[in-house]
Amino acid sequence: MTLCEADNPYGANWGTDDIIVFGQGARGLWQVPGAGGTKQPLVTGDSLAGVFGHGPQILPGGKVVLFTLTRTRNWNDAQIVVQDLETGERRVLVEGGTDARYLPTGQLVYVRDGTLLAVPFDLKRLAVAGGPVPIVEGIAQSPGQTGAAHFSLSSSGSLVYVPGNTGPPNSTLVWVDRQGTIKPLEAPARQYRDPRLSPDGQRLALRIIGDSTDIWVYDITRLTLTRLTFEGINQHPVWTPDGSRVAFRSTRREQSNLFWKPADGSGQAERLTTGQQVQSPSSWSPDGQLLAFFERSPAEPAGDSGNYDIWVLPLAGDRKPRPFLQTPFGEGEAVFSPDGRWLAYVSNESGRQEIFVQPFPGPGGKWQISTGGGIEPVWARSGRELFYRNGDQMMTVDTTTQPSFRAGAPRLLFEGNFLTGTAFRANYDVTPDGQRFVMVQQGEGVSGVSQIHVVLNWFEELKRRVPAGR
C-alpha cells in the first residue's frame, strides 16, 4: 500500500495518533496519515541547512520531535536532538548514535556501533539524566546512506530487532563478463560505491564510505589504492575524457556543488559551481568542454523538492551552467553518447524510472529505451550499445547514433546480486572493449540475516537496569 511519494526515506515512526513521521535527509522531516494521503513538512530542509535528518519520533504532547542529525552520514558521530515544533528551538541530547526512541518508562534508547544503549530521560526538561548503559549488542545497521538500526519497540514493552554485524559490512570490487561470470579484483574489502573506469581502463575512481566519505583512485595494474579528497563529503566521481582529472560532488559549508581535481592528487580541488541546490556530475562530453550534471529542483509550493533537472556546465568562458531538461518530473544521470550527439538519462515521467535518449544539444524528440523500468544507464565506448539495470538484471540495447538514432529491443545480459546505485547514479562501469563490467558485491550483513528476535516484557528488564528520568 503506497502512502505517499518519498525519495530515500531516512527512518520512519508510527505515532499514537496514527500519523507516520519520516526523515528525508537534507529535505527535512515529513509526516503522512497512516491511511495514506498528502505528506506535510514537519521540520523544513531549510532549517536543517543541508544537514541530514533521520528517524524522527513525536514525543508525548505532540509539540516536540526527537530525531538524529548528521553532516557526514557517519552515524556514530551523529547527534541526537529534540526540536520544539512551535518555536524551532533545537537541543542536542546525545553526541554519537542514531535512531533514538523515547519510552513511556522514562528512558531514551539509541544505537551506536550495533549496540542498543539506554539513558534516563526527563521529558519535562527535555534532558538526559545520566550516562548511557549498554542493553543489547549485535543489532544490525544498514550501511552507508541511512545508517538505520533495525529495532523497534511496542508500547506494551516488547522489543524486536534484527541481529547482525556491529558495523556496516564491507564490499568487494568484482569483474563480471557478459555471461555473468564473476572474478574478484585484488582490491581490499571496503565500503565501495560509484566505481568509474578511467578512459584507458587502467584505474578506478570510486567513493569509499568510512569515518569520512571520500574519492579514491585504485590502480588496477599496480594494485594501489590512493585517497584523492580530504575535505567535505565527496561522491559521484567522473573522469575527464583525457583521464587527467576527476570531477565530483562535494558537500562543504552546507552546500553540495561540483569540484574537480587532478587524478594524480597534485594541487587543490577546484570549485566549478556554486548554488544552494544539490548538484551531482554525471558525464563529460567527448571533447571535455561540457560537464552534464543534475541539480535538485527548487522546492515546489507544497515543499516537495525531490525532483532533479539536467544541466550542462561549459568549461570555457564564464562557466555559467545552462539547463538542458527542466520538467515537473525527476530526471538525472545524463550520460553523453561517445560521439557527443545524444544524452541518455533516467526519468520518472511515466510513473516509474525509465531510460530515455534525446539529441544534444537539441532540438528533437526522445526515445524510451527501457521497458518495465530501468536505471543506471552506461554507454558502450563503441556507441553501439546502451546498458542499464532493472533490479538484479543487467540489460543491453543495440543502438545506432549516426546518421540518426535507432534502438533495438532490450535484452538480458546477466542477472546477479550486486549493489545497485540509484535512479541518478550508476554503481558499475564498463571496460573500453565492452566485454566486462566492474561491479560492487556486498559483504555479509543485514541481507544475510534469517532471524528476527522478539523479547517480551522487555521494559521490566530495562527498568531494573536503567532508572527512569524525572
**By C-alpha distance, which of 57, 74, 66 is closest to 17?**
57
Give the pLDDT confidence score for residue 102 in this predicted structure: 93
Residues 343-371 have a mean pLDDT of 92
Q: pLDDT-derived band of residue 448, with 50, 70 and 90 as boundaries?
A: low
Q: Which of 214-228, 292-306, 452-466 shows the lowest per-residue confidence on average (mean pLDDT)?
A: 292-306
Torsion angle defined by CA atoms of residues 315, 316, 318 and 323, in that order, rounded to the nearest 10 degrees: -50
- Contact (Cβ atoms closer than 8 angstroms) between residue 306 and residue 299: no
What's at 379, amino acid-wise?
A: W
**By C-alpha distance, which of 104, 102, 98 is closest to 119?**
102
The CA distance from 406 to 403, in Å, is 9
Q: pLDDT-derived band of residue 54, with 50, 70 and 90 as boundaries?
A: confident
Say which residue the cell 563529503 belongs to.
233
The CA distance from 356 to 368, in Å, is 4
So where are the chain's domains? 12-167+448-465, 171-443
Give the pLDDT confidence score for residue 404 in this predicted structure: 87
Give the pLDDT confidence score for residue 141 in this predicted structure: 80
- Contact (Cβ atoms closer than 8 angstroms) between residue 161 and residue 116: yes
At 459, give phi and psi (nearest 5°): -60, -30
Residues 58-63 have a mean pLDDT of 90
The CA distance from 234 to 237, in Å, is 8
The CA distance from 253 to 259, in Å, is 14
**CATH fit for domain 12-167+448-465, picks 3.30.420.40, 3.40.50.1000, 2.120.10.30, 3.30.1330.60:** 2.120.10.30
pLDDT per residue as tens digits for the range 149-183? 899 999 889 999 998 765 556 789 999 999 999 99
Q: pLDDT-derived band of residue 447, with 50, 70 and 90 as boundaries?
A: very low
3-state helix, strand, coil in the chain (%, to 5): 5, 50, 50
Q: pLDDT-derived band of residue 50, with 50, 70 and 90 as boundaries?
A: low
| pLDDT exceeds 70 at position 211 | no
**By C-alpha distance, which of 200, 338, 407 is closest to 396?**
407
Is there a shared CATH topology between the 12-167+448-465 domain and the 171-443 domain? yes
Give the pLDDT confidence score for residue 362 in this predicted structure: 83
pLDDT per residue as tens digits for the range 239-285? 999 999 999 999 876 678 999 999 998 888 999 998 888 899 999 99
| pLDDT exceeds 50 at position 204 | yes
In this prediction, what percent of the chain has a pLDDT beyond 90? 53
pLDDT per residue as tens digits for the range 422-445? 667 899 999 999 999 999 998 754
Q: Which of 59-73, 134-148, 182-196, 217-231 shows the lowest per-residue confidence on average (mean pLDDT)?
A: 134-148
Strands (E), 169-317: 171-177, 182-184, 191-197, 203-209, 213-219, 224-227, 233-239, 245-252, 255-262, 270-271, 279-284, 290-296, 308-314
Q: Which of 284-288, 414-418, 424-428 shows the lowest per-residue confidence on average (mean pLDDT)?
A: 424-428
- Contact (Cβ atoms closer than 8 angstroms) between residue 160 and residue 110: no
**CATH fit for domain 171-443, picks 2.120.10.30, 3.20.20.70, 3.40.50.720, 1.20.272.10:** 2.120.10.30
Residue 277, CA distances (Å) to 216, 254, 308, 328, 362 in order: 25, 10, 10, 16, 25
Q: pLDDT-derived band of residue 205, with 50, 70 and 90 as boundaries?
A: very high
What's at 139, amino acid-wise?
A: I
Highest mean pLDDT among 41-45, 50-54, 226-230, 429-433: 429-433
Residue 216, CA distances (Å) to 11, 213, 226, 285, 402 in order: 29, 10, 5, 23, 36
Mean pLDDT of all residues belonging to the chain: 87
Instruction: Answer whether 0.75 is exceeded by the pTM.
Output: no
| Contacts of 223 by beta carbon, 8 Å cutoff, 6+ apart | 186, 187
Give the pLDDT confidence score for residue 103 in this predicted structure: 92
